[in-house]
Amino acid sequence: MTSPVATEAPVPLISNTAEPPDLTGRSRMAWNVIISWAGQMVFIVAGFIMPRMIDRRLGQETLGIWDFSWSMVAYFGLIQMGVGSSVSRYVAKYRARGEVDLVSSIVSSVMFLQSAMALVILALAGLLAYLLPSFWGLRLGDGIGDAQVVVMTLGASLAIQIALAAFTGVITGCHRWDIHNYIKAGWHVVTVVAMIVVLQLGLGIRSLALASLIGLALADLNRIICAFVLCPGMRVGVRLVRASMIRSAFGFGVKTLAPRAADLLLNQTSSILIAGFLGPAALALYSRPRSLAQHTHMLVSKLAFVVTPTASAMHSASRREELRELLVGATRYAACVSLPLTIGLAIMGGPLMLLWMGPDYANGTLVALVALGNFAMFTFMPAMSLLTGMNAHGRPGMVHLAAAVCSVGLVFLALGPLKLGLEGVALAVGLPLTAAYGGYVVVHTCKHVDMPWITFLRRALGTPMLCSAPLAACLIVSRVLMSAQPLHALWLGSLTGGVLLTIAYWRYVLPDRVKVRTLRLLGMSGLAA
């Protein structure tokens, strides 16, 4: 995999030109978001292909074991205490001030600390693999040996990712999300191709895990190269490690840890409970609708991630009005993505699952509940990212964690005493999450940027809701009129509603400068004029 920066000169930390570069990254936000979405599409395609292939080649039970192994290993990510997330913020902050020596120091300090954490993760992965037969042998049955090997291999992948995470922070802290996503897209392509070869050769999930490890290693090698190209003055070494930097990274990371722990509780703990109560096959049935919602809504997260370093630079420069406009604009665009996708999954989730995974997975009610439960979190994710850039995300993170703990308790009740099945799990996960993000995070963020929350909601959500109404109408009418032909209803409703949504967004959402650039790219310069 070649380096994606070979054709573009690095941006210096300090410019001697009359007009210095925009170190806040605001001028690159639109392009960063677009390229992030393009990269995410590769991930979404991979997410559609691989589960279907594993299900057909190896069976539903094996797919559930794959999901279970990922869920177990994911907990080890908490060991890094959110330290890796600090690099992007501090690199953006120090570059805005022209302090290249501090960039070297924060990268070296975080890398030193996380390398030690990676060794701990390797040890814990080995211990977990050893203990699996004692705790999960009966439920996993003949698949326990595969689960042990996959846990070890995925643990090694996570260790490598954490040890080298600082270089990802350098790239995103330089506001080069395009490069970050070039590498990520290449990683997914290589990994998916390798996995397809593995399945075609008749090999099992052990080889799939090894293919994933190799793809990750190649991607991290590219990240290291690109980080040094983007920051030619940056150095990495033990002598540059500073206790003060470690403390700063820890202080920032601990605030980030809460929402990360919350995500693990919401996704991984619920998966483990499903596997424990209902078995790996049931986990496969639940994970696919959840994966569908998460894949589509990950487009919003790409927008949210771009907000953090930009908000950090703006906050450092005391540009308060720009912060308010950043919050409103980012949330509006997030809603423009999350709202129609949520509407589509809520109405057409069943036919879509039928088309993707087959009739065993076509539970429209489950898809709708999962999608609606995620809506508030993904729509208001830019608000949390803005707070992260301002280093004011501590309390919202704790509220997110409290909501996750509540959800886990409700999931246990839904699967145990109440026996509500997978639909009960979706409700248990979604309701506390909606209250946390749709309520507290909104109010808290508006308080920090001095904006009434009513004004924020009106400005951010009004236009997306009006534009999405025709889409909802088309999907509902198609579903009702063609109830006996769900796949035909899916295509007809999506096509007609999508056309109307595109027209509405072009007219009322897209900025004029984006319209002009789009028309020029399409060869319609006359219309652009």
Average pLDDT over residues 324-336: 91
pLDDT, one tens digit per residue, over 68-120 is 888 888 878 777 766 766 788 788 778 777 777 888 898 999 899 889 999 99
Nearest Cα neighbor of 426 from 301, 282, 262, 286 is 286
- Alpha-carbon distance of 119 to 332, in angstroms, equals 42
Percent of the chain with pLDDT over 90: 33
Per-residue pLDDT band at 295 (split at 50, 70, 90) = confident
State the pLDDT at residue 32.
58
Integer Cα distance of 90 and 275 in angstroms: 40
CB 67 within 8 A of CB 271: yes
pLDDT at 8: 36
pLDDT of residue 391: 79
Of 220 and 231, the one with more pLDDT: 220
Asked if the model's pLDDT at residue 3 lies above 50, the reply is: no
| Residue 141: its H or E element | none
pLDDT tens sequence across 203-224 = 888 998 999 899 889 999 999 9
pLDDT single digits (tens) 428-466: 999 999 999 999 999 999 998 899 999 999 999 999 999
Q: Which pLDDT belongs to residue 15? A: 38
Q: How far is CA 269 from the centre of its chain?
A: 18
* Whether the predicted pLDDT of 48 surpasses 80: no
460 to 324, 329, 463, 465: CA distances (angstroms): 11, 7, 7, 10
Q: Which residues contact 504 (CB under 8 A, 6 or more apart)?
A: 466, 467, 470
pLDDT of residue 440: 93
Whether residue 423 is predicted with pLDDT greater than 70 in this model: the reply is: yes
Can you give the pLDDT at residue 40? 64
Is the pTM here over 0.75, yes or no? Answer: no
pLDDT of residue 5: 36
Residue 400, token pair as written in the block: 């997110």
The token pair at 506 is 């072009």
Tens of pLDDT, residue by residue over 232-269, are 888 888 888 888 888 888 777 776 677 777 877 777 88
| In the chain, where the domains are located | 25-241, 244-519
Q: What's the pLDDT at 202?
A: 85
Q: Which pLDDT score, from 0 to 100, does residue 370 have?
A: 93
Q: What is the pLDDT of residue 304?
A: 75
393: tokens are 């995300």
Express each pLDDT in 378-391 by its tens digit.
Answer: 899 899 888 888 87
Burial of 525 (0-12, 13-18, 19+ CB in 10 A): exposed
Query: Is the pLDDT at 505 greater than 60, yes or no?
Result: yes
| pLDDT band, residue 16 (cuts 50/70/90) | very low
Q: CB of 168 within 8 A of CB of 110?
A: no
Of 127-131, 189-193, 262-266, 501-505, where does mean pLDDT reach its minimum?
262-266
State residue 339's pLDDT score.
93
Q: Diameter of the chain by CA atoms? A: 71
State the DSSP string of 213-248.
HHHHHHHHHHHHHHHHHH-TT----GGG--HHHHHH
Nearest Cα residue to 170 out of 334, 396, 326, 5: 5
Give the pLDDT confidence of 392-403 residue by residue, as tens digits. Answer: 777 888 898 899
In the chain, the percentage of residues whose pLDDT exceeds 70 is: 88
Which helix (H) or strand (E) segment is 277 a member of? Answer: helix 270-278
In this model, does residue 21 exceed pLDDT 70? no
pLDDT band for 177, please (50, 70, 90 cuts): confident
Higher confidence at residue 61 or residue 495?
A: 495
**Whether pLDDT at 10 is above 50:** no
For position 527, what pLDDT does the model report?
Answer: 56
Q: What is the mean pLDDT of the chain?
A: 83
Asked if 407 and 433 count as a contact pair (C-beta separation under 8 A), the reply is yes
